[in-house]
Structure 1
């Protein structure tokens, strides 16, 4: 058993209160269980309890064993002097405040329904490969509870991504155009090369890109040069186009005193199809920067996915239509719809939510999330178990919610924090 389980039981008061009394036999009436404390100090604050004839307002601390009070050194910490009740599973020791006064203890072991404890252990004891520990118990959960939980995790996932962009916006001095540039650059990494593309954006400032956005060849020189793909090598000795980019880059790097280029070995080619090779994505990014001078305004104002699909179709130069990497010829397809959809999901929506939070307009959050409902659902090994169990999976909004549910709740076994797990663990009376 984990302490979280006792937190859950106390917070929802899911225990037998018949002749409720402390380990010393003093009657207890819970008037208010208190509020979970997310900071240092006791677990629940502002509780109201009647102990005997006296009403107390204070904190409640929860442990599996009363002796954990000493193991955590609370007897020497003045923050715990406000504790008026020590709730434990097993009362194996008396505990005192820093002034030596005794703290009443409430043991819950005999008051928790055996079936509730069995259900909890069943959820926690499922082996790691089991994607959904609650799968056998899902018939106990109404469809509306599942839908609400997936909607909640969708918003949590979008908000987490938006928070990263808000921090980036702050780092960039409150410049939304620069924020859009950095976010798009990382997005063009499509997971495998997200980190090196994010570093490239730092090594090639948006202010420098803006000065040369009118000239695609100069943009390619800057992008490929700072990415480390214009160094002399055996594949490009007679490649006139790459040689020209190399000369252009040398001039521009000196002009703007650019930092050193990224080492080529940082780019990932392993297990990637040629159409997703880093040079192909860099060429597509350069083309977009050339064709779309106002990135942020366009991404913020796009009314539909169809508009964004058109926005991202920026033609690359002739050389990159025919080369997967410098000196390596081959016919290269344009940026595909599935790639555009990933950019909408991982860049456009979080960027719009970050802006909405910044300006305090929650209606913009709803509009941003609505874009995900226009995208097709993603199907992978994380969403598959939920589909088999009948979870709704019609759009990318559902996919993102299911991914967040899997990674944030099911995999780490955070069933007590999940509306589905909470519903399953409710005593029969409360569930009805």
Structure 2
């Protein structure tokens, strides 16, 4: 079983999963989208890809390198700056390289150029975001668990962490930070930990803080069951309704919370399984990343399985669901309904992205893995899986592209706007 107290490069392979029965939802129109570019992080390298006219190509156009393996990337809301968080927490015994690097993005080509020196951080920045004004960078640190806020200068430089009034309680194993659509509050998703090596479970929580000129004030803790049996990983917001959706990693569920006056409902309004066959869940099955369709009618979430067993001296995949779960959202209530489980046919999709036009989904698997195939063992490479999004929100696998992960895991991918 995967020890979720630390990242490992345990891997998974796509399974043949059923497409669930059709539902009467159709794709809500997405807002007009400008030009975008696809970026993929492998180890310390961030590569710009040309995805072609139909969004299914994957031709590398240029690569930049940061001081350590990339953890997360975020684009400035109004300026051509891209912020790249990196850390050697799991690639070195020294655990001493933690940075945010600012790049200037070419508005025509998407090419990145370093802007100044990387800003040093105190620990692994597992997740970052920028507030709507573009003046503050928020960083989630998982160990020790912490939420930090840094000022962003006019030239994109990231300043020192803003000293807060008192300790910022980010829960156990902060895994993501986002700013509410109002821009008046920040939410930290604290995953907690499964029991391991005789240590009991660490409870999870969703922590809400008011955000005023870079200052944080604790406002709310959401922890159903006191956080036990509750392991949230990532959240995303509906583009037009006061609804927040959370991927509950350790329990393989999707939850929806209402937002009212910058507070969340104390309990989820809806809870749904993310799996096509929840009765057959195997060890190490986990929910992953979550993104809403830009039109608001659909939601996408990755299912990951990474358990391996020994077969004739080789570690091979032991089974589980590796898919993108597609949920249709009721326009009146926000209730999600699982309408498709689309196999990624790849390994452990930690990260995926939906283009702002709502026509393409790209899923990135972490690394290769050996797979038992009849009497032989096959090694399947790390993969970019390119899906077309239909008018009904469902996914059609259009192309796959092998990616060399010799430099490290394929840890993040994203469509970023140009300009």
Q: Which has the larger radius of gyration?
A: 1
Q: Report which of the two has the higher share of strand.
A: 2
Larger relative contact order (Cα-Cα within 8 Å, sequence gap ≥ 6): 2
Q: Identify the TM-score tier after normalising by the shorter chain.
A: under 0.3
